[in-house]
Amino acid sequence: MIKIENLEKIYRTEEVQTKALNNVSLAVSEGEFVAIMGPSGCGKSTLLNILGLLDEPDGGRFAFAGTEVAKASERRRAELRKQHIGFVFQSFNLIEELTVFENVELPLIYLGVGAAERQEKVAQVLEKMQIMHRRNHFPQQLSGGQQQRVAVARAVVNSPRLILADEPTGNLDSSNGNEVMELLTELNETGTTIVMVTHSEHDARYAHRVIRLLDGAVVLENLHQPFTA
């Protein structure tokens, strides 16, 4: 699914060069659940952004679903992104002017899905996330847990092959956090690949594999049995 080799990312200001990623290589197979961990500033988010085709690497190779994308155009990356990738953020990143339903509907609109099919799909996924009763509410009328469920719903509504989650439980209390982790696990079990950045050892245990980063480099990869509660 994902194969990166010697990936580099450098941030430059006028005086300082910072290597955010230094020769990072890793592979994620179809159906895997991978957690990326490491201290603040270690390059986790940079890596996730590159994996999500939101950012470009400065060096190295990156194959996404078999195609090389390290130097792909913005248009091509946007195309792949909307077809194959769903995002879940720590701060939910829902659009405040849109209702729950409309937020979830948005990726389908950009994909050019017809209205009737959108209705059906959104309804389906909202049912699954158990927030159908909130469909006409605006994000600020929901609790944090509910907002993150909407965000997950939005991430999966177009059945992406890959979900990238950036500290998805970071803004949630533990019970809401667990709920979200359960959701992700269920998605993984139905075949969706998940890459998750997290600070939480607890959350990381839901993953098949943990990649630890330090100062922009992979320091450790350890496999463990999927966590089952």
Partner 1 sequence: MFKNYFLIAYRNVVRHKGFSFLNIAGLALGLTACLLIGLFVYDEQQYDQFVPQGEQIYRVGTQRLQGETTESTPMSPPMFATSLQQELPEVEKAVRIMSLQSKNLFRVGSKSLYEEHGFFADADLFKVLHLPFRYGSAAQALAKPSSIVLSEAMAERFFGPINPVGQQIKLDTSTFQVTGVLRNRDLKFHLNINFLLQLSPAVIGIPEKRMQSWGWRQFNTYAKLRPGADGRNVAAKFQHYLEEKVKPQLAKDNIEYTAFFQPLREVYLHSADFKINWATHGNITYVRALSVIAGFILLIACFNFVNLATAKSMQRAKEVGIRKTIGASQPQLMLQFLAETVLLTLISVVLSTVLTALLLPSLNRFTGKSLSFDLIANPGLLALLLGLTLVVGLVAGFYPALVLSSFKPVKVLKSTVVTDGPLGRVQWLRHGLIVVQFALSVFLIICAIVVFQQVSYLHNKNLGFNKDQIMFFPMRGDSMTKNYEAFKNELSQAPGVASATIGYGFPGDMVAGDQIIVPINGEPKKFSVTQLLVDYDYLKTLGLQLVAGRNFSKELKTDKDQAFILNETAVRDLGFATPEKALGQTLQWNIWNNKNPDSTKTGKVIGVVKDFHYKSLYDKLEPAVLQIFPDAYWKVAVKLKGENLGAGVESVKQVWSKFSPNYPIEYKFMDDNFDEMYQAEDKLKTLLWTFTGIAIFVGCLGLFGLATYAAERRKKEIGIRKVLGASVSDIVALLSKEFLALVLVAAVIAFPAAWLAMSTWLQDFAYRIDLPLWAFGAAGLAAAAVAFLTVGYQAVRAATANPVNHLRAN
| Binding stretches for partner 1 (CB under 8 A) | 45, 49, 52, 54-55, 74-75, 78, 81-83, 87, 89, 93-98, 102, 106-107, 109-111, 154
- Shortest distance (Å) from residue 210 CB to partner 1: 23
Residue (47 or 207) nearer to partner 1, CB? 47
Q: Of the candidates 139, 36, 149, which has an alpha carbon nearest to the alpha carbon of residue 96?
A: 139
- Shortest distance (Å) from residue 189 CB to partner 1: 24
* CA distances for 203 relative to 31, 74, 90, 122, 183, angstroms: 18, 33, 13, 27, 12
Residue (156 or 211) nearer to partner 1, CB? 156
- Shortest distance (Å) from residue 127 CB to partner 1: 21
Residue (154 or 208) nearer to partner 1, CB? 154
* Angle subtended at Cα 157 by Cα 209 and Cα 160, rounded to the nearest 5 degrees: 45
Separation CA 229–CA 206 (nearest Å): 9
- Shortest distance (Å) from residue 221 CB to partner 1: 25
- Shortest distance (Å) from residue 110 CB to partner 1: 4
Residue (194 or 206) nearer to partner 1, CB? 194
Look up residue 76 and give its amino acid: R
Residue (9 or 134) nearer to partner 1, CB? 9
* Angle subtended at Cα 157 by Cα 153 and Cα 184, rounded to the nearest 5 degrees: 50
Who's near 78: CB < 8 A, 6+ residues apart?
A: 53
Separation CA 175–CA 179 (nearest Å): 6
Coil/strand/helix, residue 161:
coil
